[in-house]
Amino acid sequence: MRRHHLIAFCSMLLLCAACGGDQSPGRIAFNLALPQFESIDTAGRMFEGWALVSGQPVSTGQFVLDASVTPKRVTSVDGATLYGTTASASFGPANTGLGTSFPFITLATGFFIAVEPAGANDGVPGDVLMAADMNATGCVLTAAGVATGAVNWALGDWTSASGVVTLMTPTNGASTNASGVWFINGASTDAGIITPGLSIPTPTGAWRVQGWVRNSGATPNTFSTGQFTSAVRPDNDAQSTPTRGSLNIGPMVPGQDFINAVANTTPALDLASGTWSVEVTVEPAVDNSMAPFPLLLLSATIPTTAVNASGETAANVPLIATAALPQLTMNAASATSAAFTGSLPADLGGASAGELALWVMLPTALQPALLGRLRVAGPLVTCPATGSLLGTPSNFAVNSLSTGLGSGFPDPTQAVLVFLTVEAQGGPLPASFGATGVQPSAATLLSGNAVAGVATLTVAGLSAQGGIGLANFSAVAGACILAAPTAVLAPAAPAVDRNGIWFVDFTTRAPTLVLPALPAGWVYEGWVRNSSTGALYSTGKFRSGFAADEDATTWPGSGTGGILGATTSSGYAAPGQDFLTALTATSPGATSPALPQFTDGAWITLVTLEPNGTVPTAPSPWVVLTGSLPLSTNTTSPALLNMAAQLPGGTLSW
């Protein structure tokens, strides 16, 4: 769609009326109008303006919106400073408290507004909501941003997004079809061909798309169908959601079956009982199990002395690095077979937890070729495509027959690169889903260069040279403490630090984890494990040891306050978790229904854009598609309504 159409239909413009070319630069205030923020729910959202000066983003101040008055008030995060209203708010070096850190706005080449995580104060922009270039004659800022220039990120152009949904339960069979929602064109399923039901752009930056179903009847409920970035790939909980059936993970598109009722019954934990250990693993970003991925980096037994007799934090718990990580050596003696020795990662957890795939890059090829799919089950390695026994995790082989690839088996003696990925159950995707041939996932686990049919595959791979690989974990280190910074204690009440675990230092409360940056297909995750009962609980996923993890603001087992050393009520600015509250069926976001009847006419579907790293229990205000669910199963819904015109915008001037 042409840009002037985008402006006319979406009303998402930010007119930056620049000063004349002869004006000298200065730290002057500017006015920001956000009229469309008036009609969307911004509760709990923190925003930050950023000016691009000399190619670097410089903050113009954080702000929140107060909906208790009309128009909404625009204030500092703590509410102490009133910048104005959504009709007009003023930001400058004095009222933001930034002083000489406030940018020379007249020298800015771009400007954008980002959605920031709670408590963020690291000088790094969050997820960009709208953006534009600035010049001497003005600029237009939209949620679509701009394709070139100083600023080239924002939400993307969603004005052409479209879609349909179908009610079906592929993970449990047809008898329960009224209890599943999938973004599929239902007319295609009769012939056994799956046609994706969504036509959407790839979300930009760190944004993710999320599907929802909402009951507008007498019992209002909203349930997530999962987050995703592509209409032709499974969503992020396809493997791990406990609400689905056991036959498979469903088609390779976003959607959800609600076969099983699920209540999160995580109890309040006493982590100083002497039976708990702590672990840090690397996990596929599109997680393939609710259990830890078998790539353990750090671990330790938590001693009873981690808290004192008063229940207060008493000492660091040093973490120990894993001695050996998976690695493989390939020896290919012919064009139709390859042998591997070394150590594959352990069992991923059964068929529904995903599988591994081997790939080679040939000298003249433009994309990798599949060498074979693998599944580790205890002491055996099999090919899920054929059921063939390939060997053991320390010694196995693949060939054109055992993999089922036949004449499509690539010549491993000609390979220049070999790598191993983690794939969803049933993957890699066939070409009918829009790929050119089969495509590997972004979760590369092992990789290495190959010469004359010989290759050594390691976790670090070629990452040090900027090539394909996970990361070099040889220098990982860290420590943790037992502490409960979100607890609210009555006067003279005993401390409850035994109910929380955080990867910070005992003395300084500074983050302790020393971990390399991960590529896009992976995240870190913390765990606590009980050696006596076998209980296992996640402490949250994260990409950096120096920032809060993904569920810092959404975990319902936390307390509601903060204590000395905490930076926000969500805990320290580091990964960790408080297990203060037993989660029951009434906890927010902790339950999913069994067999809801989506055909009763009371349900609608929503497709929203969500900042990466959030696990919301309700849809964000950035809705791009919505519509009613069909009244019968295996039929396509009416076309979903494009809501891009309601994405926010505003006006900036000085």
pLDDT tens-digit map of 87-109: 889 999 999 999 999 999 888 88
- Asked if residue 609 and residue 570 are part of one domain, the reply reads no
- Asked if residue 621 and residue 577 are part of one domain, the reply reads no
- Asked if residue 249 and residue 183 are part of one domain, the reply reads yes
Q: Show the tokens assigned to 371.
A: 């060498």
- Asked if residue 332 and residue 314 are part of one domain, the reply reads no
Cis status of the peptide bond prior to 511, with omega within 30 of 0: no
Full DSSP string of 517-546: ---TTEEEEEEEEETTT--EEEEEEES-TT
- Asked if residue 370 and residue 399 are part of one domain, the reply reads yes
- Asked if residue 484 and residue 402 are part of one domain, the reply reads no
Q: What's the CA gap between 390 and 7, in Å, rounded?
A: 58
pLDDT band for position 600 (cuts 50, 70, 90): confident
- pLDDT value at residue 352: 59
| pLDDT, greater one: 618 or 630 | 630
Q: Is 165 inside any structural domain?
A: no
Q: Is 305 inside any structural domain?
A: yes
Q: What is the domain extent for residue 419? A: 327-465
Q: Which of 539, 556, 582 is the last residue of a domain?
A: 582
- Asked if residue 272 and residue 307 are part of one domain, the reply reads yes
Q: What's the CA gap between 427 and 400, in Å, rounded?
A: 18
Q: Which of 465, 491, 516 is the last residue of a domain?
A: 465
Tell me what the mean pLDDT of segment 427-432 comes to.
45
Domain count, the chain: 4
The residues facing 608 across adjacent strands are 210, 623
- Asked if residue 331 and residue 321 are part of one domain, the reply reads no
- pLDDT value at residue 241: 78
**Helix (H/G/I), strand (E/B), else coil: 375:** strand
Q: What's the CA gap between 226 and 63, in Å, rounded?
A: 29
Q: Is 182 inside any structural domain?
A: yes
Tell me what the mean pLDDT of segment 229-234 comes to.
85
- Asked if residue 141 and residue 31 are part of one domain, the reply reads yes
Q: What are the phi and psi torsion angles at 495 (to 5°)?
A: -70, 155
What is the per-residue pLDDT across 39-83, written as a single tens digit (0 to 9) for each? 667 776 789 999 888 888 999 999 999 888 888 999 998 889 999
Q: Is 166 inside any structural domain?
A: no
Cβ atoms within 10 Å, residue 23: 12
Tell me what the mean pLDDT of segment 97-124 comes to.
84
Q: What are the phi and psi torsion angles at 593 (to 5°)?
A: -80, 165
- Asked if residue 103 and residue 43 are part of one domain, the reply reads yes
Q: Is the pLDDT of residue 562 over 50?
A: no
Q: Is 290 inside any structural domain?
A: yes
- pLDDT value at residue 191: 46
Q: Which of 582, 599, 627 is the last residue of a domain?
A: 582
Q: What average pLDDT does the chain have?
A: 79
- Asked if residue 149 and residue 38 are part of one domain, the reply reads yes
Q: Is 214 inside any structural domain?
A: yes
| pLDDT, greater one: 364 or 331 | 331
- Asked if residue 145 and residue 183 are part of one domain, the reply reads no
Q: Is 164 inside any structural domain?
A: no
Strands 651-653, 16-17: parallel, antiparallel or unpaired by DSSP?
A: parallel
Q: Is 505 inside any structural domain?
A: yes
